[in-house]
Structure 1
Amino acid sequence: MKRIAVFCGSSIGFNPVYKEAAKELGNYFANNQIGMVYGGGKVGLMGVIADEILSYKGEVIGVIPTLLEKEEVVHAGVEEMIVCKKMSERKVIMSKLIDGYITLPGGFGTLDELFEALTLNQLHIEQKPVGLLNVNGFFDAVLLQLDKMVEEGYLKQTNRNMLLVANSVDNLMQKMNNYTAPKVEAIINKVVR
């Protein structure tokens, strides 16, 4: 993979294990010549991973909406910063630049980006690997909810399996590199009564 979008928090969180995971992922990207496309911020986990990659002279591309650019969160060290009008436009731009997605801990925006990437794959608009770095069990409850959705008939197991989950960067990257998208099938389950 040449470039991967990283979704993560604009906060650092309370547990230093999340910051260490962001640094580890940034280190992996830099040492394996993988470019990162991200939200363009200098704060939180976003800033940590960008700083790590930039410290190795790796490629970092930021995509930030005008609203956030004015909030003075833009990472000044990122040479390629794409400024767009809307949050929705940001996701489209990012999608065109990357070969896959990885999500680290974060809040509403992070989950929104993760689920949009999964939905694009579910609808066969994209066929890119979507990875979840489940540091310290951060996403355990989310994963249980996805399993409940399968159990109750709201999510196909095939689509549930599209989300690649690992606790370590090396394991996640191995899964990402070996990913094969599911075959195209009916998007909507038809119920015959």
Structure 2
Amino acid sequence: MIRQTMSCGRRLARQARLFPVVLLLASPSAPALAAAKSVAVFDFQLIDSSLQGSMEGVDPAQTKRLEKMAPELRDDIGHLPGYQIVDTGPVEKKADAQYLSSCGNCALGLAKQVGADVAVVGTVQKVSNLILNINAYAFDVTSGKEIARGSADIRSNTDESWHRGLAYLWKNVLKKQFEQAK
């Protein structure tokens, strides 16, 4: 009788050691982590066709708003299961030296250099201080196929309108397309 209890105790101890491994393998997040797509989100670029831009030059407040766009979108994409953000720092100077939304496939090449599966580029088009448009595009680096695209019109040139415009674009357009592209 004592021998059976000890044998059963050893068996339970062994099962207890294996239990965390079994949980990890059975976890729904384990396959998602293994298959996560890496995403390079490049800094947004300004297309200023407004009268103010041609007469007054660079607006420092607008430049600060523009600098916040890519980090916000990186944060949104990075919180989506199945995607992880890669650092674009090593190719930042090359990316900033050209208009990524109109340079052919240059963003794909830059994304490939930093090991990304997906390249995301964005623009803010300023028609006037009252009419602006936020655009974002995501492409599969290997095939060049577009996997997400969206646009949001905003009606003022303020920190709040830019933030709300990008939040709307993510929540109502891009997020759904990224989820479908997994």
Per the TM superposition, whether the score is higher than 0.5 is: no
| TM-score w.r.t. length of structure 2 | 0.35
| TM-score w.r.t. length of structure 1 | 0.34
The structure with more helix, counted as a fraction of residues: 2
